[in-house]
Amino acid sequence: MTNYKLLAPGPVPIPLEVRKILEEAPLHHRTPEFEKTLSRVKNKMAKVFATKQPVIFHTSCGSGAMESAIVNLIEPGDHVLCIIGGKFAERWKEIAQIYGAHTIEWNLAWGEALDLKKFEELLRQHGPQLKAVLSQACETSSATVFPIEPMSALIKKHSNALFMVDAITALGCMPMPMDQWGLDVVVAGSQKALMLPTGLSFIALSEKAWDVQKKNKTPKFYFDLDRERKALEKNQTYFSSAVHHWRALDAVLNLVERKGWSALQKRCEVLMKATHEFVKQMGLELLSKAPSSSVTAILLPKDVKGEKLRDWLESEKNITIMGGQDQCKDKILRVGHMGDIHDEDMIQLFAAIAEGLKRESQWRKTEPSIKKILKEAPRIFE
């Protein structure tokens, strides 16, 4: 199998000491040994979410936790304001609609920064009847962050709505203290900032959201959060636990705690800054007006077909990054900053993109020199 350099915004490269755990012999989930792991990991994850509430684990990809948020809190006819700045917001809106929500959509251009004044106007208009506001913390398809803390304060000022945040490419790589910011639902996934394979997702509810959950009548089976919460109190999951993922998560949390979460966040920021500098030196531009530290979207010159360049990087250079989806198809490249990424990986990527652009484009040809910026980067996983 070819060993690809994985520089996509999820899945991301997994640190070696975590990969070793994935090779270990299986352990049954109903054993005292696993229950100890579960107990340790659930407590540590509550710290990562910065919440006093339990963090619930589903054996699913991130979209499962998004669906869980909806089936546990939304009922047919509920008014839900959806902040739509890209593909993942579209997905959450669709899930809400399938379960009968009355969605009010605020469509932002992909990459546009969210204007808090306009947001407040919308809340003035719709606030009283809103059951929930749905937003990404980082919209991965446009590499754009939203100002979650002030948004949360405005929602509280104008409504009684639950603020539901998809933090799948935010939790871990940027501050997202759930209780302090008054977030009602935070959703995360294993294969992005948390550096694991795809397969675990996480969801935490505020006290207010748990009250809503208890009264919720939407049919649900696998994603019943109350049932999972009770199992978790006994250091179990209701269904079979993804034991390898839990143990690998334990290792990731140990690894990051040794260096501090701020070091991991700084590392994402340094890789972002390096990528921004590369973009500037190439005479290119970013898609986003509110760029994320977990992923960067590079706007390509008009004569370049993004998918062709992306495929070339993969087949000729063994580097996997992502192109654009939907309206950004062929127009952007997306580079991830999460996971066990080394300076050399970034240097090879930049050199490869520069070479690819030279082949594909009449664009001004410049040789990037980004090594000096990368020197700042603390090498936290080496």
Ligand X SMILES: *Cc1c(COP(=O)(O)O)cnc(C)c1O
Residues that bind ligand X (CB under 6 A): 10, 61-63, 88, 136, 140, 166, 168-169, 189, 192, 198
Q: How far is the CB of 28 from ligand X (least distance, A)?
A: 26
Which of 370, 369, 351 lies closest to 359 in space, CA to CA? 351
Report the residue closest to ligand X, judged by CB. 62
- Provide, rounded to whole angstroms, the least separation between the CB of residue 227 and ligand X: 22
C-beta of residue 138 within 8 angstroms of C-beta of residue 290: no
Closer of 169 and 288 to ligand X (Cβ): 169
Cβ proximity to ligand X: between 63 and 97 the closer is 63
| CB 355 to ligand X: min, Å | 28
| Cβ distance to ligand X smaller for residue 126 or 192 | 192
What whole-number distance in Å separates Cα of residue 62 and Cα of residue 239? 18
381 token code pair: 């996983």
Q: Which is nearer to ligand X, 13 or 189 (CB)?
A: 189
Q: What backbone phi and psi angles, to 5 degrees, belong to 131?
A: -90, -35
CB 265 within 8 A of CB 173: yes
**Minimum CB–partner distance for residue 304 and ligand X (Å):** 24
Give the torsion sign (CA, 243, 248, 254, 256): negative
CB of 86 to ligand X, least distance (A): 8
Residue 238's Cβ-count burial label (10 Å; 0-12, 13-18, 19+) is middle
Longest pairwise C-alpha distance within the chain: 63
Torsion from C-alpha of 177, 183, 189, 192, nearest 10 degrees = -50
Instruction: Tell me how far, at minimum, the Cβ of 45 lies from ligand X, in Å.
Output: 17
d(CA 154, CA 148): 10
CA distances from 16 to 13, 29, 202, 272, 382 (A): 9, 24, 23, 23, 10
Query: Which of 137, 304 has the CB closer to ligand X?
Result: 137
Minimum separation from the CB atom of position 140 to ligand X (A): 3
Q: Are strands 79-84 and 102-107 parallel, antiparallel or unpaired?
A: parallel
CB of 364 to ligand X, least distance (A): 32
103 or 129: CB nearest ligand X = 103
Report CA torsion sign: 143, 147, 152, 158.
Answer: negative
Cβ closest to ligand X, residue 5 vs residue 87: 87
Nearer of residues 159 and 275 to ligand X, judged by Cβ: 275
